[in-house]
Structure 1
Amino acid sequence: MGSYVSIRGWLECDETQLAAVQEIIARHDDNHYTHGWGSPRRHMNWTHYVFYGADIRESALDWFADQIRAMARVPASDADGDLVQGLFLVGHEVEGATEWQVRDGQLFVAQADIRHRYLDE
């Protein structure tokens, strides 16, 4: 049957970057796990958020990571130089939890803090 991975988290970006993030999601559309992506019904203030929440098969984890890496590489769109950033908790049934940090144009993966263990019990 295979192992499952619980993914929950978000990305923060500006309006121009949001369009690029949405294009990346569309390019990776699998008509199944893609449905885990969502955003607020209505935008408020200046930061745009994109959320992901789903339990996916371990075999689809590379599919998801490829999207996140592409999103992390979306360039800054204004003089502030702000890049896409975010945080995902990835709970693997067998290997435990990791924290995926999206910052500085990259995806950084580290062991999740013990404080988040309750999410995967």
Structure 2
Amino acid sequence: MNLIYLASLLVAIACMLLIDARFRLFFWRDAVAAIAVTAVGVVFLLVWDIAGIGLGIFLRGEGVIASGILLAPELPIEEPVFLVFLVLCTMVLYTGARRILEHRRANEDRRTSARRGTGGES
């Protein structure tokens, strides 16, 4: 049994949580909402995966770095862990991008106000 992929996913989740903690973007901004969003996202994606497996669209590939532990036919234990990472990464990127855009907009508004206040109009 090889746990490289599972361990890598857990390290990646830990890294995303460190970024989140540093900038207070998702879990460290509102833990209850973040837990709800993560749970809903993971459940939705797992249902999607299960439907794909049931239709024969998604198949588990044999990987030398995978654990080989299955939660269900064609559903390795790494899949829900990957989905947690996917949702977490998406939300950290989204909230980070939103914060950057809000910061830029506020700076533009300050510059515009400063120009108007100093008689810079023609």
Same fold, judged at TM 0.5 (above): no
Q: Which has the higher contact order (CA 8 A, sep 6+)?
A: 2
* Structure having the higher Rg: 2
Higher helix share: 2
TM-score by length of 1: 0.30
Higher strand share: 1
TM-score by length of 2: 0.30
